[in-house]
Chain A
Amino acid sequence: MSQYRRYELLQDLAPVMVDQALIVCNIGFPSQELYAIQDSPKNFYMLGSMGLSSSIGLGLAQTLAKKEAPQTVISIDGDGSVLMNLGTLSTIGNYAPSNYILLLVDNGAYGSTGDQPTHTSGKTDLAAIARAGGTAQVHVSHEAETVEVMKQCLSNAGPHVIVAKVSPGSPKLQPVPFDPGYIRDRFRFEIT
């Protein structure tokens, strides 16, 4: 049986989340994969600043939460990158609004740099850290189970943290071909 990696997960998730929510997507392969699977002006591709996907999404969700019908924000982050900004799980635990979903794709590896193992492939449990950081609705799912979990999260008030377990590895793709100003501006036009 072929392996179920982040790419396969994003393929399965695209129909339920792309164009439905504002997505802040992590630097490197995750953005390349999301772009290749389904580009949308509602996707904000990070081209740098590893570790800050959850924070950018949180600031955005807080801003939108003040509006009458707030758009949902999904931050796609990884195990390696969230470990670089671990304090974010405490900030999310205390400050995330109900329109915020953090999708932690946990493949136990630094995928964009050659699949070096992260600590989540050892003893570290990101879901436990998210809970301890103060988030009540933390979901752990494996492979394609995440699609149903995401559907539930999109229809029930958050904040939610999803720890989605997948296998390491990525297909060979090209970098996102957009200028950062273009990514920024077309994303901002999607804010209502």
Chain B
Amino acid sequence: MVYLSHLINHIFINQPYDHDHTAKQAKPLFLQKTMTLISEQLLVELKRNGADYFASVPCKLLGDLIDLLEHDSTITHVPATREEEGLGLCAGAFLGGQTPVLVMQNTGVGTIVTSLFSLALFYNLPITMIISHRGTPGEKIGTQVPMSNAVKPLLDVVGIPYFPFNHHRDVKKVGRLVQHAQVAQRPVAALLDFDFWRSES
């Protein structure tokens, strides 16, 4: 399995996400299928629970999900230029009556804090945050680790409930998360680490 984990790391970490699909085609089919399948399940669960507006800032781990969002005509998807902008878009979508989801990497938690306080929490806005948790085991890029360690304490300080997603079966929890945001009247976050995207049980 050592060989397989190296291969997974190589594919998940070193392979650039590419909108023209050349990078994806370079992946062995079984891995491509795993990430795509989990992303599909994630989107199905989100939509089943009412999510219909998505703002996203890219991450390699979220590439397949963002690709699905881009091609899904039943929802609105806006690529945001940074996480704060995405939060503003989600706030507007909620005011208009939609159920918004912000898709982003955990590094963005560092730049979004002020607006989480003064917009999302101040106005009690239910926004589901799908956050890839980089810098967790499986990560190959050292600079991702410090922010990775700070994410949970930061969310604690801000007062955003978060839930680790570290097994692909956790995909089922995401629907309840959307509902929980409505009940809690505030943003709630899923932290999707590397293990979440693996197929082994």
Spell out A's residues near B (CB within 8 Å): 24, 44, 46-49, 51-64, 66, 85, 87-88, 90-91, 95, 180-181, 183-184, 187-188, 191
A59 touches B96 (CB 8 A): yes
Looking at the assembled complex, report how far the CB atom of A104 sits from the nearest CB atom of chain B, in whole angstroms.
Answer: 16
A59 touches B122 (CB 8 A): no
Which parts of B86-100 form the interface with A (CB within 8 Å)?
86-98, 100
Known: A49-B119, A95-B78, A181-B123. A55 touches B96 (CB 8 A): no
Known: A48-B118, A49-B119, A62-B76. A56 touches B95 (CB 8 A): yes
Bound CA–CA A66/B84 (angstroms)? 24
Looking at the assembled complex, report how far the CB atom of B92 sits from the nearest CB atom of chain A, in whole angstroms.
Answer: 3
Known: A51-B84, A52-B91, A56-B91. A63 touches B53 (CB 8 A): yes
Bound CA–CA A95/B93 (angstroms)? 14
Bound CA–CA A123/B122 (angstroms)? 36
Residues in A neighbouring B15, C-beta threshold 8 A? none
Bound CA–CA A127/B88 (angstroms)? 22
Question: How many B residues, CB 8 Å from partner?
Answer: 33
Bound CA–CA A183/B124 (angstroms)? 11
Looking at the assembled complex, report how far the CB atom of B26 sits from the nearest CB atom of chain A, in whole angstroms.
Answer: 29
18 contacts between A and B (CB under 8 A): A44-B95, A46-B119, A47-B118, A49-B84, A49-B87, A49-B119, A52-B119, A56-B91, A59-B55, A59-B96, A60-B92, A61-B96, A62-B89, A63-B53, A85-B85, A87-B85, A88-B85, A180-B122
17 further contact pairs, Cβ within 8 A, besides A47-B118, A52-B88: A47-B122, A49-B88, A52-B119, A54-B88, A55-B86, A61-B92, A62-B53, A62-B76, A62-B96, A63-B96, A63-B98, A64-B96, A85-B84, A87-B81, A91-B85, A95-B78, A188-B97
Bound CA–CA A52/B94 (angstroms)? 14
Residues in A neighbouring B95, C-beta threshold 8 A? 44, 56, 59-60, 63, 184, 187-188, 191
Q: Does B115 contact A (CB under 8 A)?
A: yes
A48 touches B92 (CB 8 A): no
B110-135 vs A, Cβ < 8 Å mask (1 yes, 0 no): 00001101110011110000000000
A60 touches B96 (CB 8 A): yes
Bound CA–CA A23/B92 (angstroms)? 11
Residues in B neighbouring A60, C-beta threshold 8 A? 92-93, 95-96
